Amino acid sequence: MTLKMGTNQHTYIVRSIQLELSLERRLEALGLTEGAPITILNNDKKGAMTVRFRGTRFALGRRIADHIEVEEAK
């Protein structure tokens, strides 16, 4: 599933990021890499979503969230 489809207060594991190379590298520099846990703080289905990874809160646009494949954390 994509990150955009996730629910509030759930943690997921990043499986892949399918964005243009420059944006993918920028997210990797921030710590969003394959295998990293990511928690959705606010996904109200309009506008940017708020997530937490590596101990920091970030806002991600819907287009970006739609290209990040995740799976439920066990």
In sequence order, the 6+-apart residues with CB closer than 8 A to the CB of 56 are 30, 31
Q: Is the pLDDT of residue 74 over 90?
A: no
Give per-residue pLDDT as tens, 18-54: 999 999 999 999 999 999 999 999 998 788 999 999 9
Domains, the chain, with CATH or none: 3-72 (2.30.30.90)
CB 39 within 8 A of CB 32: no
**What was the pLDDT predicted at 62?**
93
